[in-house]
Amino acid sequence: MNDQNPVIETQNLTKTYRMGAADVLALRGVDMRIGAGDFVALMGSSGSGKSTMMHLLGCLDTPTAGRYLLEGRDVGSLSAQERARVRNQRIGFIFQTFNLLPRLTALDNVALPLLYRAAGGQGDNGTSRLDHGAGSRATGKQSPRERALAALTRVGLADRAGHRPTQLSGGQRQRVAIARALVGDPALILADEPTGNLDSSTGGDIMRLLAELHAEGRTLLLVTHDRAVAEQAEYTLHMRDGRLLP
């Protein structure tokens, strides 16, 4: 690990979900360090807290206690708006279920994070801004659509730019999701079981793509149940019962 310069550092990260009268202790004090450029697999049985951890690391949720430093910055001290900006500009998220918007084309799904960015990290429904090149002034030379097409080309799907998610195979949907994660040029890519809904051959294609992103210098944290997938990472972390195993 590149320990000089951790991209991720958590201290006693704790998450409790309130379920009616009962509390679910999903994370019980996780200390995690991941260096810049690392490719890390995260394994653990179902319910061990992997997705909760990924949501906190992705700034999609906030911890009950503990600290999270992203590139040295204390995420807990940020306002909701600043946190949204960090999420938008520094992090790409890839989900098991792809999470594409069904009514948008592949191109518009990929362009969406750039439109959120142009809107100041607040987000909107996006669609009305797409046709006006709203982000081009903010981002310099290329419009969001041009950058989205470049990202789709990067994952080998330029010829599917006009397709909606239902018109794509599972592997193609996940490649669109990877293009969406990539389009903002994030430092950190978080992938929660990205091959979990794919057959092994399609999953292999996705893993090759992720390995290329790592080779380009990005930091990658990947949750998987699959030992063969985990073996492609540089090292593996294990969780059990809301804790990181030593």
Ligand X SMILES: Nc1ncnc2c1ncn2[C@@H]1O[C@H](COP(=O)(O)OP(=O)(O)O)[C@@H](O)[C@H]1O
Q: Does 51 bind Mg ion (CB under 5 A)?
A: yes
**Residues 40 and 57 sit within 8 Å (Cβ to Cβ):** no
Q: Which does 245 bind (CB under 5 to 8 A by kind): ligand X, Mg ion, none?
A: none
**Burial per residue of 208-238, b for 16 or more beta-carbon CB atoms within 10 angstroms, e otherwise:** ebbeebbeeebbbbbbbebeebbebbeeebb
Binding mask 44-83 for ligand X (x = CB under 6 A): x-xxxxxxx-------------------------------
**Minimum distance from residue 227 beta carbon to ligand X (Å):** 16
SS3 per residue for 96-108: CCCCCCCCCCHHH
End-to-end CA distance of the chain: 15
Q: Does 22 bind ligand X (CB under 6 A)?
A: no
**Minimum distance from residue 45 beta carbon to Mg ion (Å):** 10
**Residues 38 and 219 sit within 8 Å (Cβ to Cβ):** yes
Q: Which is nearer to Mg ion, 36 or 54 (CB)?
A: 54
Q: Does 42 bind ligand X (CB under 6 A)?
A: no
Q: Which is nearer to Mg ion, 134 or 239 (CB)?
A: 239
Query: Quick one: which of 2, 3, 5, 17 contacts ligand X (CB under 6 A)?
Result: 17
What residues does 74 pair with on adjacent strands? 69
CA atoms of 160 and 164, how far apart (whole Å): 9
CA atoms of 172 and 159, how far apart (whole Å): 11
Q: Which does 49 bind (CB under 5 to 8 A by kind): Mg ion, ligand X, none?
A: ligand X
Q: Does 196 bind ligand X (CB under 6 A)?
A: no
Which residues make up the interface to Mg ion (CB under 5 A)?
A: 50-51
Which residues make up the interface to ligand X (CB under 6 A)?
A: 17, 19, 24, 26, 44, 46-52
